[in-house]
């Protein structure tokens, strides 16, 4: 059986991206101030890429569960109305 669900969580994706970017290694020769700007830009790019493909308004995620195949698939944004 396939079950589709829409999940809403306004902070999880943003927090996950911020956490991932926070752990990127700083390249040699880059100042702390410059590195903070680079990390911020990378976080914004990642959030936009995820939101544009998968999340409506940065907080709604559509998932399809298949109980026969025992899988869960993230659907393109707006798949469930």
Each residue's pLDDT tens digit, 3-47: 999 999 988 999 999 999 999 999 999 999 999 999 999 999 999
pTM of the model: 0.77
DSSP H helices, 1-81, are: 12-22, 32-53
Nearest to 37 by CA among 51, 49, 27: 27
pLDDT attached to residue 45: 95
Three-class SS of residue 25?
coil
* Secondary structure (3-state) at 61: strand
Query: Domain map of the chain by residue range?
Result: 2-74
Contacts of 58 by beta carbon, 8 Å cutoff, 6+ apart: 10, 13, 14, 47, 51
């Amino acid at each position: 059986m396939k079950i589709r669900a829409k999940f809403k969580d306004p902070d999880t994706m943003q927090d996950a991206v911020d956490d991932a970017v926070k752990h990127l290694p700083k390249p040699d020769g880059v100042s702390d101030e410059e590195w903070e700007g680079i990390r911020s830009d990378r976080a914004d790019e990642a959030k936009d890429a995820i939101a544009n493909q998968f999340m409506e308004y940065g907080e709604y995620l559509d998932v399809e569960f298949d109980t026969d195949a025992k899988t869960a698939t993230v659907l393109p944004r707006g798949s469930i109305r």
